[in-house]
């Protein structure tokens, strides 16, 4: 009888510190690029996933959500909160962690922080959508809302689409300055702008990522010229939108999982049968992405469990042969599975 | 800039080893007794909980479930699997872990193993139900199915109801021998029986806790005399029952959360409007528990998220002032919440 937990009882846990080590070990642009491909692979086999809308617990100040999915071999879920007022208290608006488990046994195989990983996968999902929807040859992106997601979006669009210039705007100048500082020296031309209108000038991709939990109008119809791709990240829960509905009427809207997006996305402003195209069908070539150079495309991004699944399995594979994790004993594993009590009893000795 | 994670980034994690230390530190009967009271307190304020059926992901070999709930101040969820075939492979049929989070901020405040804790809370829930439903003065319990839950049930009934004798039966004699061994010296009179019929003789409480994932008939109608309390644990998922339906017709059935029990419990054999009494109403004195000495009462136990919540908050309180936990950094907590990328970037240095 060993006093140590058995190997079956241990699962790798990736702390925030180890996630940062892993990202630096691989290089952030490589991570974003490989993550984009991993997400695209999973969108290509979309129908093999057990899909459900997230399970949300709403409260006055925010929401706590569980986002599970499974491909029949591996099960994954993410815990994530959204508390817009947290920022004023010096806390993260969004924190997350996630888990993978073996479907055949139900045993967990990976536990990891997902605050950073969610930021990475959100940017990678945007890049994947833009790869299919952005106007050809675009080199300029407007980034409206320069919060925690801004740099990840910029680097994903650089790594995956070859974006060379980012035009930044935020109602809080300090957020823009933070983003300028963080992206200095990364090989992108950066332009701080005085208004959303100025940021949009010449941009082929317009990314909106603001954080207010309320109906907002970050973009109005007259600001949007033909041919652009709008990457709308911030409208991601009931009551939270960023675009004027007139823009939606001129755009073709692409979504992750319609039942969820109709509740949480920009299209919550529209009728329940408002026409949308599922992104996975574009990835599979079953539906058209960008049709022509004048079309306005809109990726109404809310984040879906399959993307977290992709990120989790990417991390699991990337950990192999590294020491960017600790083993934690979160599973009780008695020698005789019926003898849970005996295991407890012997631990007293 | 400290290289260490900030205090906000750290949450206490209770490993299996530390859970065992905590239980031994307090004493298992004390834990079972206090847990019974904690669960009863939460049943008394049942209406203050945000309740939902568990979110299940079914596969050929088992099920993985998420069980969330919240009382508006604290949010909790449990991850739990059920894989009956695991035992043959030397694995636990059920493993679990759980989490508590602060509703106001969405920040996790406790992560803990719950394989052991689920065994404890399941037994405590049975004891709480029996406190309201078992015939007065009962000192004998039959325990049919001597698997991982058996000893916990026996000790909870001893600690909470003053049960002095346990009559054990299992189709696998080795399971009974294991239970005899584990309970030796705990102050209970133990009787190994050759059949379920023999085990039931003279018992005021009949606990069934078998593990096959199929419709089974552990108890038939002719075996059940008047006046007993049946504590049915093993019928807890679709397709898995232990009692012949004729028993249900003679018994008054008490349940945790009817929408879940009608799918998972013994009453899945009955019509959707089959009459049941919610246990929380008995605890509050709004409904009668045991009415008379001849009544057959049935607690159709499937396990509900509120019980896990109670167990989690009990552990959280019990940890105070002890060292039965480790701190893990599962939350990214940059100095400036908008500066997640800056935190990542500075970690490279």
Q: What is the pLDDT of residues A102-146, one digit of tens each?
A: 999 999 999 999 999 999 999 999 999 999 999 999 999 999 999
Question: Which residue in A321, A271, A276 sits closest to A300, CA to CA?
Answer: A276
The residues of chain B scoring below 50 in pLDDT are 1-3
CA angle B32, B322, B312 (to 5 degrees): 45
Number of structural domains (chain A) is 2
Residue B242 bridge partners (DSSP)? none
Order of strands across the sheet with A189-192? Answer: A189-192, A165-169, A140-144, A205-208, A229-232, A296-300, A251-255, A277-278
DSSP string of B187-250, one letter each residue: S-EEEE-SSHHHHHTT-SEEEE----SSEEEEE-GGG--TT-EEEE-S--BTTBEEE-HHHHHH
CA nearest to B79, candidates B305, B256, B237: B305
Residue A1's pLDDT band, with cuts at 50, 70 and 90, is very low
Q: How far apart are CA A288 and CA A72, in angstroms?
A: 29
Question: How high does pLDDT run on average in chain B?
Answer: 93
Q: Would you state the pLDDT for residue B234? A: 80
Does A81 contact B16 at a Cβ distance shorter than 8 Å? no
Three-state DSSP string of A70-96: ECCCEEEEEEEEECHHHHHHCCCCCCE
Rounded distance between C-alpha atoms, residue A249 and residue A137, angstroms: 25
B1 is a domain residue: no
Cβ-defined contact of B92 to A331 (cutoff 8 Å)? yes
The residue with tokens 């043959």 is B88
pLDDT tens-digit readout, A286-343:
999 999 999 999 999 999 999 999 999 999 999 999 999 999 999 888 888 889 999 9
pLDDT at site B93: 84
- B108 and B147: one domain? no
Position A171 in a domain: yes
Q: Are residues B143 and B93 in the same domain?
A: no
Chain A contact probe: residue of B146, B330, B339, B345 with most A CBs at under 10 A? B330
**Looking at the domain assignment, is residue A94 inside a domain?**
yes
Evaluate whether ipTM surpasses 0.95. Answer: no
**Residue reference for tokens 């300090």:** A174
pLDDT of the residue at A217: 82
In a domain, A213, yes or no: yes
* A162 & A298 share domain: yes
| Predicted local distance difference test score (pLDDT) of residue B5 | 61
- Which one is catalytic: A42, A236, A300, A308? A236
Flag if A115 and B332 touch (Cβ within 8 Å): yes
Residue B24 lies in a domain: yes
Q: What is the pLDDT of residues A225-237, one digit of tens each?
A: 899 999 999 877 7
Instruction: Out of A68-77, A211-220, B71-80, B305-314, pick the least confident.
Output: A211-220
Q: Are A146 and A178 in contact (CB under 8 A)?
A: yes
B293 occurs within a structural domain? yes
Tell the residue number behind the tokens 């023999």, with chain if given: B198
Per-residue pLDDT at B213: 59
- Whether residue B299 is found in the same domain as residue B315: no
Q: DSSP letters along A163-210, please?
A: --EEEEE-SSHHHHHHHHHHHTTSS-EEEE-SSHHHHHTT-SEEEE--
Q: Is A248 helix (H, G, I), strand (E, B) or coil?
A: helix
Closest CA to A219 of A180, A246, A179: A246
Q: Find chain A residues with C-beta within 8 A of B62's C-beta.
A: 105-106
Q: Which of A70, A107, A148 sits opposite B340 (nearest CB)?
A: A148
Residues B247, B166 share a domain: yes
Assign residue A337 the CATH number of its domain.
3.30.1780.10
| Cβ neighbourhood burial of B258 (10 Å; 0-12, 13-18, 19+) | middle
List the CATH number of the domain containing A235.
3.40.50.720
Q: B61–A175: do the CB atoms touch at under 8 Å?
A: no
Is the Cβ pair B77, A90 closer than 8 Å?
no
Same domain, B82 and B181: no
Contacts of B89 in chain A (CB under 8 A): 105
The owner of tokens 């939902």 is: B52
CA distance B342 to A167: 19
Examine residue A123 and state whether it is found in any structural domain, yes or no: no
pLDDT of res. B212: 65
Active-site residue among B236, B246, B292, B335?
B236
Q: Are B135 and B290 in contact (CB under 8 A)?
A: yes
**Whole-number Å distance between alpha carbons of B294 and B280:** 23
- Tokens 């990364």: give the residue: A186
- The answer to whether residues B214 and B228 belong to one domain is yes
Same structural domain for residues B162 and B13? Answer: no
> Cβ separation of A16 and B151 shorter than 8 Å?
no
Contact A178 B334 (CB under 8 A): no
Chain B residues whose beta carbon lies within 8 Å of the beta carbon of residue A59: 70, 72, 103-104
Token pair, residue B94, equals: 């059920």
Question: Do A67 and A94 lie in a common domain?
Answer: yes
User: In terms of Cα–Cα distance, which of A205, A56, A34, A206 is closest to A121?
Assistant: A34
What local confidence, expressed as pLDDT, does residue A195 receive? Answer: 96
Same domain, yes or no, for A263 and A172?
yes
pLDDT digits (tens, 9 = 90+) for A167-200: 999 999 999 999 999 999 999 999 999 999 999 9
Alpha helices, DSSP H, located in chain B: 16-26, 28-44, 115-133, 150-161, 173-183, 196-200, 245-250, 258-264, 279-283, 305-319, 340-347
A264 with A181, same domain: the answer is yes
Mean pLDDT of chain A: 93
Sheet (strand B296-300) strand order: B189-192, B165-169, B140-144, B205-208, B229-232, B296-300, B251-255, B277-278
Active site residue A236: yes
Nearest CA in chain B to A14: B330
On whether residue B2 sits in a domain, the answer given is no
Helix (H) or strand (E) holding A26: helix A16-26
Nearest CB neighbour to A92, from listed B93, B146, B333? B333
Note whether A157 and A93 are same-domain residues: no
* A291 min Cα distance to partner chain B (Å): 35
Res A75 pLDDT > 90: yes
Rounded to the nearest 10 degrees, what angle do helices B173-183 and B150-161 cross at? Answer: 40
| Domain extent for A50 | 7-116+306-347
């Amino acid at each position: 009888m060993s006093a140590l937990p058995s190997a079956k009882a241990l699962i790798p846990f990736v702390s925030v510190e180890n996630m940062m080590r892993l990202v630096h070990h691989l290089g952030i642009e490589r991570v974003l690029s490989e993550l984009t491909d991993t997400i695209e692979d999973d969108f290509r086999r979309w129908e093999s996933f057990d899909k459900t809308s997230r399970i949300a617990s709403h409260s006055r100040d925010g929401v706590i959500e569980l986002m599970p999915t499974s491909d029949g071999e591996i099960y994954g879920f993410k815990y994530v909160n959204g508390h817009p007022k947290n920022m004023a208290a010096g806390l993260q608006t969004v924190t997350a962690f996630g888990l993978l488990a073996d479907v055949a046994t139900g045993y967990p195989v990976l536990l990891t922080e997902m605050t950073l990983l969610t930021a990475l996968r959100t940017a990678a999902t945007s890049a994947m959508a833009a790869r299919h929807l952005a106007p050809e040859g675009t080199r300029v992106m407007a980034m409206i809302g320069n919060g925690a997601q801004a740099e990840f979006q910029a680097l994903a669009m650089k790594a995956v689409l070859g974006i060379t210039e980012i035009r930044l705007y935020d109602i809080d100048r300090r957020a823009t300055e933070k983003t300028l500082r963080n992206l200095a020296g990364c090989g992108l031309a950066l332009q701080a702008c005085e208004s959303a209108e100025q940021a949009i000038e010449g941009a082929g991709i317009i990314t909106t990522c603001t954080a207010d939990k309320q109906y907002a109008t970050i973009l109005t119809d007259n600001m949007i010229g033909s041919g652009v791709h709008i990457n709308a990240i911030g409208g991601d829960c009931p009551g939270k939108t960023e675009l004027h509905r007139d823009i939606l009427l001129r755009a073709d809207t692409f979504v992750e999982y319609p039942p969820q997006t109709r509740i949480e996305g920009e299209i919550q402003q529209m009728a329940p049968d408002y026409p949308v195209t599922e992104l996975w069908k574009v990835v599979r070539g079953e539906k058209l992405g960008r049709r022509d150079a004048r079309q306005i495309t809109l990726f109404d991004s809310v984040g879906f469990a399959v993307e977290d699944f992709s990120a989790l399995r990417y991390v699991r594979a990337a950990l192999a042969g590294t020491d960017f994790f600790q083993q934690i004993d979160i599973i009780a594993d008695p020698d005789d599975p019926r003898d849970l009590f005996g295991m407890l009893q012997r631990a007293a000795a």
